Chains A and B, each alone.
Chain A
């Protein structure tokens, strides 16, 4: 079983729809959860960062973590064509050098259709 599972299937939504992305993981030591956005031919950029279980909201983006189910989600409200990108989940056990290795999901390609 991979450490982080993310269904890479492309997701197409009409502009204004809610985008829902999720990852599951197997390592119960993970405590820090991130979502990266990667535009075509660019490097990943940090979008959201959450510690432990709970919700975090930043503008149109909401990240949720359910550690009991080992399940994290990213929601994008009022999606825009500029949100078209690949979204990678990533997680680590800690923030300290030596235990902060990032485990990535494969990424989820999102296309927002105008």
Chain B
């Protein structure tokens, strides 16, 4: 089945130790998103890629970076995790059509990050 896959599902890291979260998709979608969702809060968009074009949200801290080496994969790098970065990180994909329309977003299961 076509899907959005996130690894690992749970990640424990130490304060200040860099961590990388991974997202892959078999939907062949050209747009990929990273959201941060804290407990009982709405998902907050961090950034997204349209193909290789990176779009950062204005309020995303510099501590968060992303890479998209190819259509299928996208990575979220947290350079120096703080206690406040503990959250669920959601990857989503969608398809922008040649006419400019965009289909709905499909979400992965998320990676729950714990910072000790």
Contact = CB atoms under 8 A, between A and B. Distances in A.
Interface of A: 4, 6, 8, 34, 36, 41-46, 49, 88, 95-97, 100-107
B41 A106 contact: yes
* B interface SS class: strand
- The binding surface of chain A is classed by DSSP as loop
Q: Determine the interface band of chain B, counting residues with CB < 8 A from chain A.
A: 20 to 34
Contacts of A45: 107
Contacts, number: 55
15 contacts: A41-B9, A41-B109, A42-B110, A43-B92, A43-B109, A44-B107, A45-B107, A46-B104, A49-B104, A97-B50, A100-B102, A106-B40, A106-B42, A107-B40, A107-B41
Interface in B74-116: 90-92, 96, 100-102, 104-110, 112
Contacts of A103: 42
Contacts of A97: 31, 50, 96, 100-102
A86 B106 CA distance: 17
Nearest to A102: B105
